[in-house]
Amino acid sequence: MERTGSPPWEIDVAPPRPPWEQMAIDRWLLHRAEEAVAPPVLRLYQWDRPTLTLGRHQEVDSDGVDLARCARLGVAVVRRPTGGRAVLHGPGLTYAIVAPLPHPGATVVACYGWAIAPLIAALAALDLPVAELGRTHGATNAARLRAACYAAPSAGEVALAGRKWIGSAQRRLRSAFLQHGAIPFTHDGAALADCLRFPDGTTRAARAAALARRIADPAPLLAGRTPEELTAAIADGFRSHHRFDRWRQLHLPAAVGEAAEAARQDPRWTLTEGRPL
């Protein structure tokens, strides 16, 4: 018998997929949640290639995203259905939560808090020094870094040892929302700066150093932990927080694969394809 509390959630933990497919799945889940009664979903996934994801309305040119340089480096560039700024996905996990609004009229901040509470609890249970981040903690005014999510910590995100670690972005519809978050396993401000446009190498190095001073270095604290261990801990944390006994496996219809292929060929969603690892 299942515990009283939330209904069971669906979960998707799968081998790494191409970036346009990951985003197509999340878009499909959000619209399913908006259009029909559907259980909440937690996805924990990795990428099959280095990927720079852009916010839904982010401007490539004015924010200095260098598509030609990304293509040369083998970095895919895709657009998220959520807002926010550019995030470089390398070694690490990405989470996606798709759920009904916690209550009618729930604000963006309320949805952020609802989404990250079990995540913080799960990571704290691994003895990681995590906490919710304040709205202006560590923000940088470096103009060319305005494209980068990690240059501007916000409320509702997660700090590790006092520095921004897990950047999150959200899209909220009338009755459902999608929240993305990147959980990097390494500290690499230089790799993110490599995806942006600068007048010269000296400026690029200076901006990378400015970014590095503001983001957490998780590698020492995650030493010896595998992606599978973190995935299991996060899944267990969500299950315990929402008080249900068993996860239901997410099953995706064939239409999602068709939507993913369409997104791959659509320059609004896939700006560069990159190279698989």
Give how many domains the chain has, as a whole number.
1
111 tagged catalytic: no
- Whether 60 maps to a domain, the answer reads yes
Nearest alpha-carbon partner for 269 in 69, 53, 25: 53
| Cβ atoms within 10 Å, residue 28 | 18
SS3 content of the chain, % helix, strand, coil (to 5): 35, 25, 40
- Whether 2 maps to a domain, the answer reads no
Q: What is the pLDDT along the chain (277 residues), one digit of tens a residue?
A: 344 456 789 999 999 999 999 999 999 999 999 998 899 999 999 999 999 999 999 999 888 999 999 999 999 999 999 998 899 999 999 999 999 999 888 998 899 999 999 999 999 999 999 998 764 444 444 444 455 444 455 667 899 998 899 989 999 999 999 999 999 999 888 899 999 999 999 999 998 888 888 889 999 999 999 999 999 999 999 999 999 989 999 999 999 999 999 999 999 999 999 999 8
Q: What is the CATH classification number for the domain harbouring 73?
A: 3.30.930.10
- Whether 277 maps to a domain, the answer reads no
Q: Which of 70, 111, 149, 195 is catalytic?
A: 149
- Whether 5 maps to a domain, the answer reads no
- Whether 17 maps to a domain, the answer reads yes
> What ranges make up the beta strands (E) of 142-254?
158-160, 163-172, 176-184, 248-249
Q: Note down the domain range covering 19.
A: 10-272
